[in-house]
Amino acid sequence: MSTNQVDTSLQAVVATYNGFLKHPEFREIAEASLHLIKQSGYSKILVDTRQTRVIQKESQQWIDREWFPRAIRAGVTHMAFLTPDDFFGKMSVEATNKQAVQVGQIDIQYFTSINAAKKWLLSKNGH
């Protein structure tokens, strides 16, 4: 199952993506993350994609063209991604974020350890 929650100790929204998600499911999770960002006033998202397979091209394009610009407007400044061990899953996650990384308005980092991801997010000031 895929979920979103607010982690007050991290001062971040945590989004978990599992398995192979069709675009409507993927979009629903991403939209819920933005909703929680606006509701909480936090600026950081921990995205757990460790159980993700491949992200559909439609989802990649939607995230790039629509979601990231809205996330920037909502005040998102930092995103930590927990990447899958699976090579293709990892490449899919990184390809999805490539344009946003180049734009550079959101600091995006990739981790294989949840502790390292949390430590990085905690080191970022503000909420």
Could you report the per-residue pLDDT of 71-85, keeping only the tens digit for each? 999 999 999 999 988
Is residue 127 included in any domain, yes or no?
A: no
Average per-residue pLDDT in the chain?
A: 90
The 3-state DSSP class for residue 45 equals strand
Domain assignment of residue 7, yes or no = yes
- The whole-number pLDDT of residue 127 equals 47
For 19-54, what is each residue's pLDDT tens digit? 888 999 999 999 999 999 999 999 999 999 999 888
State the residue range of the domain holding 26.
3-122
CB 41 within 8 Å of CB 8: no
Q: CA 110, 111, 114, 117 torsion: positive or negative?
A: negative
Work out how many domains the chain is built from and give that number: 1
More reliable by pLDDT, 105 or 89 = 105
- What is the per-residue pLDDT across 97-123, written as a single tens digit (0 to 9) for each? 887 777 778 999 999 999 999 999 999
Long-range CB contact pairs, 10-14, < 8 A, 24+: 10/44, 10/46, 10/118, 10/121, 10/122, 11/42, 11/44, 11/121, 11/127, 12/42, 12/44, 12/45, 12/46, 12/121, 13/37, 13/40, 13/42, 13/44, 13/45, 13/46, 14/45, 14/46, 14/48
CATH number of the domain that 74 lies in? 3.30.750.24
- Full-model pTM: 0.90
